[in-house]
Amino acid sequence: MENLENYTASIFDSIKHFDEDGNEYWSARELQKVLDYTEWRKFNGVIDKAKIACVKSGNNDNDWFVGADKPITTGKGKKEIIKDYHLSRYACYLIAQNGDSRKKTIALAQTYFAHQTRKQELLEEEYSKLSEDEKRIRNRKRVKSLNFGLNRTAIASGVKNMAEFHNAGYKGLYNGETANDIFKRKKLKYREDILDYMGSEELGANIFRITQTEAKLKRDKVDNEYDANSTHYSVGKEVRNSIRKLGGTMPEDLPTPKSNVKELEDKK
């Protein structure tokens, strides 16, 4: 069962995307191939059934099945419009529920999207009950773990100067500030870590920067230091733009906590 979960995660996580606001989605065209549907006509029929189920549940199907039609040029030079959707996790779950149950991939999709949907609900419920200090401790641990993975991916992508690579991400997210600039602005002392003096919201923005940078480095198969740094900067910039569009506070304007995370952990 553990191998099955890893298998499904590798399949469906590999085709997951994020829009400019940081919302996850799956392309219907990509999901069609993963679910072993050779004809769009048949898969579109499954989507139609899923949309009906969505409406019957009291939801607006347009919120979960977002039209994403795109023009293509055929081999003969003719231009056509291909129908596609950006699907939420819930939409994918409904598609799996209405797919051909004889297909092994459909069973895998049902397991994956049901598990992930419930897992997300539990995580959000659990996280909402935490105090700000508890959120800081949890997010700081996650940043440390995620940075470890990002570093490995960066090295595999050709990065040799790790400090420069990380500064590229900070510059994108913090409107040109390097790690040292952030350190000075927060008025920290020698050897204090800027990540230890971030609130949960600021750490959350950095978590999103880290995860999306690693995913993009892998997805784009980056193989040189210049492109790796450019990728980190552009992702940081996109996270910043998303915060602005959502009406959030820019990370450099968020308050610096008086105590660092290590002090909070010692009190526990």
For residue 95, the model assigns a pLDDT of 94
Say whether both 196 and 244 belong to one domain: yes
Report the interhelical angle of 40-56 vs 89-98 (nearest 10°): 110
Q: What is the pLDDT of residue 23?
A: 78
Q: How far apart are alpha carbons 25 and 66 in whole angstroms?
A: 9
Please tell me whether residues 146 and 123 are part of one structural domain: no
Identify the H or E element spanning 130. Answer: none
| 136 and 208 part of one domain | yes
Residue-number span of the structural domain to which 43 is assigned:
2-128
Tell whether 121 and 145 lie within a shared domain. Answer: no
119 in the same domain as 152 = no
Q: What is the pTM of this model?
A: 0.59
For the chain, the domain total comes to 2
Residues 80 and 181 in one domain: no
Q: Which residues contact 209 (CB under 8 A, 6 or more apart)?
A: 169, 172, 173, 235, 236, 239
Burial level of 267, CB count in 10 A (0-12/13-18/19+)?
exposed
Q: Output the CA torsion sign for 133, 134, 137, 138.
A: negative
pLDDT at 121: 64
SS3 of residue 27 by DSSP: strand
- Domain boundary among the residues 82, 100, 128 is at 128
- Asked whether 37 and 106 are in contact (CB, 8 A), the reply is no
Low-confidence ranges of the chain (pLDDT < 70): 1-9, 20-21, 74, 119-124, 268
Within 15-103, residue ranges assigned H as helices are 28-34, 40-56, 61-64, 89-98
- Looking at the chain, the number of H-run helices and the number of E-run strands are 12, 6
Residue 4's pLDDT is 47
Cα–Cα distance measured from residue 69 to residue 62, given in angstroms and rounded to the nearest whole number: 14
Among 72, 104, 128, identify where a domain stops: 128
Of 128, 148, 178, which residue sits at a domain end?
128
Q: Which amino acid appears at position 264 of this protein?
A: L
Q: Are residues 136 and 122 in the same domain?
A: no
User: How far from the centroid of its chain's Cα atoms is residue 162's Cα?
Assistant: 22
**How many whole angstroms separate alpha carbon 212 and alpha carbon 60?**
29
In angstroms, the CA 128 to CA 122 distance is 10
